[in-house]
Amino acid sequence: MKTIFESRYAIGPQESKTLDTAGLRKNFLIEKLFDADQIHFVYTHYDRYMAGGAMPVSGKIKLDTIPELLKEEYFLSRRELGIINVGGKGSVEVDGTVYELDYKEALYIGKGNKEIFFSSEDAQKPAKFYMNSTPAHRSFPTKKVTKETAIKKELGTLETANHRTINQMLLNTVLETCQLQMGMTELQPGSVWNTMPAHTHDRRMEVYFYFEVPQEQSVCHFMGQPDETRHIWMQNDQAVISPPWSIHSGAGTSNYTFIWGMAGENLDYDDMDKVAINDLK
């Protein structure tokens, strides 16, 4: 099995202003993450972040290196990996140790682990392993995190359509990582806005993965500099790259859930430059 991958170069805010809808989607939207018995990855040059998906159906699939891209003997030779299962029950085998992951459970795998396999318990309800990977200079222990062991924060209100639960899962306050941090935000019924008030953080970038978007519903993801915002319409199981100079906010035609992943030199979750709602343009 060969990993399907794409490499995207980083662009700045001035170039992004010149893009039409197709150009924005080509540079920032990740439309396809899951195919039966395949692994997909997009490598972005913003902090050399990788976002991908693995969906084992007929048997185990292996996370191999990507010679023409990573040029390393194995995938985690110089990287760390975060995984959140957004499908049926499955398992991840890490150098012979098996970790079972149910729906919305997470796994952190540190630098230096050589053999990673993915499998599903039921081929009719396959696991869908959403993955984020970043460069790593140290090795930290592999650790599973559930919603029960995550740090939870309740934010927003139904009156402002942004009542949501933030599950901090692969965060430095939960476990040790080099730079990768991941979590999951669940919007309550009747709420549609995420990451509002909006913000930027110049020392780290993010990738948002939207799921639990009901059929025939969509999410409008907002990006760009605070005084010149743009938008990308997104469907279920799609991800979007957020550069450090860009806001990253969204509103759906229904409530939904999204996974946020971050990387950079800044591990302080609350270190951000907030933008007042009335100042957005």
Residues making up the binding site for Zn(2+): 199, 201, 206, 248
Q: Give, in order, the Cα–Cα distances in Å from 268 to each of 179, 180, 184, 278.
A: 10, 12, 17, 26
Enumerate the β-bridge partners of residue 176: none
DSSP letters spanning 124-151: TS---EEEEEEE-SS----EEE-TTTSE
Cα–Cα distance for residue pair 64/73, rounded to 1 Å: 9
Which residues are CB-contacts of 56 (< 8 A; sequence separation ≥ 6)?
A: 37, 90, 118, 119, 120, 126, 127
| Binding site per annotation, positions | 199, 201, 206, 248
- The per-residue DSSP string of 105-117 comes to -EEEE-TT---EE
Q: Which residues pair with 222 in a beta bridge?
A: 231, 249
- State the residue for tokens 């997009």: 42
φ/ψ bin of 178: left (φ > 0), alpha (ψ from -120 to 50), beta (otherwise): alpha
Residue 196 to residue 174: CA distance in whole angstroms: 24
If DSSP codes are grouped into helix, strand and coil, which group holds residue 16?
Answer: helix
